[in-house]
Structure 1
Amino acid sequence: MGELLDWKYERLFSLLDANSDGVIAQDDFTLMAGRVLEATGEQRTAKGEAYKGAMMNYWLSLRQTADADGNGRVDKNEFRSALRRVSVDFDTLIGPLYQAGFRLADRDGDGLVARQEFTTVLVAIGVPATQAESAFDGLADQDGRLTESRLMHAAGVFYRDENPDNSASHLLFGAS
């Protein structure tokens, strides 16, 4: 794995380890989903339920692929070695979480996410506000809006691409 992918996977691991105990487990996904739903006010809505379901599907896919020792937890080494395999199936294993997150952020259902909507979700998952705003600015169109297709493309690049020229996608979850 190249340096850039390693850095991105390290960043993603730190976010997915929502309780900061050094491993990723189901409780991290439950905690993160709760934070996002509280921040967006979608705890008891169909969009909220879809998001929680997508979070659990992501966890189950990750666990199935990465939990080499079968202990129900994924450490950094297991995560790094498995994420490249999971990202090959991005559209079916990872993509649905990003689609559900986009739809959650799209408060009015118009197919566009504004800066505040986007940053609310990213801050809830642990990205500092200034970095979430910078990520949005790099991904948004010239009118300052984000479409689902732009987000899906950026997420795919985040998981798979090692070209440093795609900086907006690489910084999807902040720079640190």
Structure 2
Amino acid sequence: MGALLDQKYEKLFALLDTNGDGVIGEDDFELMAGRVLNAAAEEKTAKGEKYADEMRNYWRALRDTADANEDGRISKDEFRQALRHVSDTFDTLVGPLYQAGFHLADRDDDGLVGREDFVAVLAAIGVPAPEAGASFDRLTEQSGQLTKDQLMTAATRYYCHEDPADSASHLLFGAL
């Protein structure tokens, strides 16, 4: 794994360690899902349930892949090793979570997410709002609207690509 992927995985680990205890556990995913659903005002909706389900699926897939010592917690080293495999199966393991997150932020179901909704969701995940806004601007090339294809392309590249010229997707979750 190259230095750029390693930086991105470090950033992702820090975001997923929602409670800041140095490991990732099911409680981190529950806490993050609650924060995102609250920020999107979708706690008791079909969209909210879909997002919560995909967060649970992502946790289970990550745990099954990464938890080498089967203690129910994922260390930074376990996470780094597992993301190589998870990245290879992005479409089935990780992609559905990003799709559900997109639909959650697409409040009017028009297939587009505006800057305010994008920033609200990323801020709930733990990305500072100014960095989330800058990410939105880069991803949309300041068009003011994000499509699901733009998000999925950026997310796939975040997990799998190391091309330093592709700064928009590398900064999906803020500065590295």
Q: Which bin holds the TM-score, normalised by the shorter protein?
A: over 0.9
| Alpha-carbon offset, residue 143 of structure 1 | 2.8
1:89 alignment partner in structure 2: 89
Deviations 1:18-69 (A, max 9, x none): 0000000000000000000011110000000000000000000000000000
Instruction: Supply the distance in 1 between the matched residues of 2:144 and 2:111 (Cα, whole angstroms).
Output: 13
| Number of aligned positions between the proteins | 176
Instruction: Supply the distance in 2 between the matched residues of 1:143 and 1:16 (Cα, whole angstroms).
Output: 29
2:8 alignment partner in structure 1: 8
Q: Tell me which amino acid in the other structure corresponds to 1:166.
A: D
Bigger shift: 95-104 or 140-149?
A: 140-149
Identity of aligned residues (%): 64
* Superposition pairs of residues 4-153 of structure 1, within 5 angstroms: 4-141=4-141, 143-153=143-153
Contact 2:119–2:129, Cα closer than 8 Å, also in 1 = yes
Instruction: Supply the distance in 2 between the matched residues of 1:97 and 1:157 (Cα, whole angstroms).
Output: 15
Matched, 1:165 2:165: yes
TM-score under structure 1 normalisation?
A: 0.98
Q: Which runs of 5+ in 1 are unaligned?
A: none
Alignment RMSD, CA only?
0.8
Q: Which runs of 5+ in 2 are unaligned?
A: none
Q: Tell me which amino acid in the other structure corresponds to 1:27.
A: D
Instruction: Supply the distance in 1 between the matched residues of 2:122 and 2:90 (Cα, whole angstroms).
Output: 20
Q: Tell me which amino acid in the other structure corresponds to 1:129.
A: A
Q: Tell me which amino acid in the other structure corresponds to 2:165.
A: D
Q: Tell me which amino acid in the other structure corresponds to 1:12.
A: L
Contact 2:137–2:143, Cα closer than 8 Å, also in 1 = no
TM-score under structure 2 normalisation?
A: 0.98
State the secondary structure of the residue aligned to 1:43: coil
State the secondary structure of the residue aligned to 1:113: strand
